[in-house]
Amino acid sequence: MAQSLCAQIGASADWDPWYPERGGRFEMAERICAGCPVRVECLEYGFDDPWGWWGGVSPDARERMRAERRGSGVAA
Ligand code: SF4
C-alpha cells in the first residue's frame, strides 16, 4: 500500500515497532498507525495474523474481534 506510513518510514532487523521482540511494546506502532490513511485496508489484510500490529490494532484485540465475528456468524 503506497500510502501506508510504515512503508514510508520503513523498518529494519534492528527496529520494527510492528513486530517487536517477544514481550516488547507496541506504543510506537500505535502512534504511527493512528495517523495512517490506510488503516482499514491494513486491518483487513492482517486480520488473521496472530502477531504484529495491523491497522492500529493489537494481536490480542484482533483475536477478540475474530471471536466476535465467529459469534455473530460473520466469516473470520
Ligand atoms: S495502519 Fe497498517 S499500513 Fe498503516 S502504518 Fe499501521 S501497519 Fe502500516
- How sure is the predictor about 75, in pLDDT bands with cuts at 50, 70 and 90? low
Give the position of cell 511494546: 25
**pLDDT score of 18 more than 60:** yes
Q: Of 62 and 73, which is predicted with more confidence?
A: 62
For residue 55, give the ligand 1 atom closest to its CA: 1
What is the chain's alpha carbon radius of gyration, rounded to the nearest angstrom?
Answer: 13
pTM of the entire predicted model:
0.84
Q: What is the DSSP string of the chain?
A: -TT-HHHHH---SS--TTSPSTT---HHHHHHHHT-TTHHHHHHHHTT-SSS-BTTB-HHHHHHHHHHHHHHT---
Report the domain count for the chain. 1
pLDDT digits (tens, 9 = 90+) for 25-56: 889 999 999 999 999 999 999 999 999 999 99
Q: Is the CB of 4 under 6 A from ligand 1?
A: yes
Domain that includes residue 62, residue range: 5-72
Tell me the CA–centroid distance for residue 43 and ligand 1, in Å: 8
